[in-house]
Amino acid sequence: MTGPLPSPVALAALLQARETVLPKRLGAPGPDAAQLQALLAAAGHAPDHGRLLPWRFVLVPQKARAALGEAFARALLERDAQATPEQQAQAREKAARAPVLLLAVVREGGDPAEIDARERTASAGCALQNLLLAATAQGFGSALTSGKALQSHALRTLFGLAADERALCFVSVGTVLSRKPARGRPRPAQYTGILVPGQGVQPWTD
């Protein structure tokens, strides 16, 4: 730890400020080199059973966006050989959004087998949330996006994924151009129960 911890109130404010701002609503400027480094460093504080480092990020800079767009178009054709040129163009266009774009990759396999794909993916999720919260603290909007293209041959080839690696999602970060109204949040009672011996899991009351 290199400084004072944020107060619980400050932490709650940060958690509440994080929301998905989709890539089409993110513009320049994005994080500069030092800010991007800080985002990636935040990811490195994720819990990681066995210290396997089972996830990684790949930055997709502007000069690589055309290649990504081409992979998106090819991914569409893998799913639908009849996709129109207009649909292919729409797929390509998605690669141009957001000033900072990262692909999150999780290594699902390998030793030790008891730390399975679910645990590895959970660690990746923690790394992603750290990164999103750090981006929020920097004043940027952010989003995770997935989609069928992630599992496509075209995308796997472009990123050189190993057989036991899975493209989990994209991370977009940038300046918020427009925002949707804040969404409601679930209450703890909606996702929490209490184990009571002899009575199973009983409801939690807020």
Ligand X SMILES: Cc1cc2nc3c(=O)[nH]c(=O)nc-3n(C[C@H](O)[C@H](O)[C@H](O)COP(=O)(O)O)c2cc1C
Q: How far is the CB of 128 from ligand X (least distance, A)?
A: 7
**Is 51 an interacting residue with respect to ligand X (CB under 6 A)?**
no
Kindly report the CA angle at 92 between 87 and 96, in degrees rounded to 5? 140
Q: Do the Cβ atoms of 66 and 89 come closer than 8 Å?
A: no
x-or-dash pattern for ligand X, window 6-35, by CB under 6 A?
Answer: -------------xx-x-------------
**Is 109 an interacting residue with respect to ligand X (CB under 6 A)?**
no
x-or-dash pattern for ligand X, window 162-181, by CB under 6 A?
Answer: -------x------------
Taking each helix axis from N to C terminus, what angle separates 8-17 and 117-137, rounded to the nearest 10 degrees?
100
Tokens 């985002």 locate to 39
Interacting residue with ligand X among 36, 126, 147, 159 (CB under 6 A): 147
Q: Do the Cβ atoms of 126 and 46 come closer than 8 Å?
A: yes
Cα-Cα-Cα-Cα torsion 150, 153, 156, 160, nearest 10 degrees, comes to: -170
Nearest residue relative to ligand X (C-beta): 20
**Is 121 an interacting residue with respect to ligand X (CB under 6 A)?**
no
HSE of 61 in the Cβ direction (CA atoms, 13 Å)?
Answer: 4
Q: How far is the CB of 84 from ligand X (least distance, A)?
A: 22
Interacting residue with ligand X among 8, 85, 183, 203 (CB under 6 A): 183
Binding site for ligand X (CB under 6 A): 19-20, 22, 144-147, 169, 183
